[in-house]
Amino acid sequence: MKKSALILAVIFGIFCWAGESPAIDNITVKVSNPLNESRSCETISLEIKKLAGFEKAKPAVYSESLKKFIPYQLIDENGDGANDELIFQSDFNAKQTQLFEIVEANATNQVQLEYGAVANYIPQRKDDFAWENDKLGFRMYGQELQRTELTSSGIDVWMKKAERPVMIDLYAKGHDYYHADNSMAIDFFNIGPTLGDGGLGSWFDGKLLMSENYYQYKIITNGPIRTIFELTYKPWDMGGGEKIGEVKRISLDIGSNFNKIESRFEADVKNATLAVGVTKNERNRKATYLKNNSVLCTWEDAEPRFGIIGCGVVLPKDEAMKKTADDGKNYLLFAKAKNNSVIYYAGAGWNRTAGFETKEKWNAFVEKKARLIENPLKIEIKK
């Protein structure tokens, strides 16, 4: 090699080395199940700011138990263009501890899920907002439906047969298709002007007050593991004539039968009695209250063609007022807001799904969900 060429090569090498990013240290995450019972499809959530070096670098997640890389999702919670959260999932045996390694991504360690949780605005069906995972589909109603047909801030639920996202396809097929038996998902849960499966209202002078249909939506993230979105409601009378605006943030993970719902209010609601619940308007639906009236389960007579839907609502114990009511249209649990917001969980199951064949099995599933919420996974981050 000529001397000049050798000098250029050395200089080039120096600049290339100087321009490389420093290696990022792997991070070990220790996750423990405190309960003496198994838990499946548990989502582990890590704040990016606690994962030094991964604020900008793309991560990959390795499961020591499975001896392989697993799917993950990065979430920008506030829309500022920077990721705030890293999530991934695992199953846990009773009292099991698992280790995960967060490493820098490369071409060989990225793992994708075939299907994920997703939310969609449906303008062609009068402003419906629909979301789903591999288990269930849900929807809430918008302003155009309110203008033409129905005022309801309740939650509708669809029983799914297919694990892939199907709501867009079902809307394309039309009303008569998804209300009949088909290979994707069936809507045979009628809510009308009620709370549906986990809607929220205010209990005032022995009456349930509810908002109008949502009027704005915002999708925070869509899958693969979690969908998060917000629905904004015009100020509504929660009792005493004062109207207060509300934003619902709803998240749904793959593998879960329950939505996590947070209602945030734009003014002081510390004196309001919030009511969450399930409609009682069809098929002799009956309620069971568990865990000192912080858990509501419902079961019904079978619809001859499609079977039975079980519904469930879980209030965190520090928000539950431990009181119930039945206003003739809804079974209700009562909650108090903390810092002008309330968080609860609402979901459903189909008796044609393994494990949900009977009322007793469904009630046990909902009660276990409450235990899982009360006893979250314990997470420790180490370099």
The CATH code for residues 118-352 is 2.70.98
Nearest to 260 by CA among 84, 62, 117, 111: 117
- Residue 63 makes CB contacts below 8 A (sequence gap 6+) with 69, 70, 90, 98, 100
What gap in Å lies between CA 89 and CA 274, rounded to an integer? Answer: 32
Residue for token pair 């360690």: 109
Q: Give CA separation, 77 vs 228, 249, 338, in Å.
A: 9, 11, 21
| Strands (DSSP E) found in 238-373 | 243-253, 258-265, 274-279, 286-290, 295-299, 309-314, 320-326, 330-335, 341-350
Structure tokens at 372: 């899982």
What percent of the chain shows pLDDT beyond 70? 94
Domain boundaries, the chain: 24-112+378-382, 118-352
Residues 173-230: tens digit of each pLDDT: 999 999 999 999 999 999 999 999 999 999 999 999 999 999 999 999 999 999 999 9
Nearest to 202 by CA among 262, 271, 143: 271
What gap in Å lies between CA 315 and CA 255, rounded to an integer? Answer: 20
Residues 328-365: tens digit of each pLDDT: 999 999 999 999 999 999 999 999 999 999 999 999 99
* Superfamily designation of domain 24-112+378-382: Golgi alpha-mannosidase II (2.60.40.1180)
Residue 111 CB coordination number (10 Å) = 14
Residue for token pair 């423990």: 32
Instruction: Read off the pLDDT of each residue in 86-102 and give the average, rounded to a whole number.
Output: 98
Beta bridge partners of 249: 230, 262
pTM for this structure?
0.93
Give, as one character, the DSSP assignment of residue 206. Answer: T
What gap in Å lies between CA 245 and CA 247, rounded to an integer? Answer: 7
Residues 262-313: tens digit of each pLDDT: 999 999 999 999 999 999 988 999 999 999 999 999 999 999 999 999 999 9
Pair 75, 226: CB distance under 8 Å: yes
Q: Which amino acid would we find at residue 162?
A: A
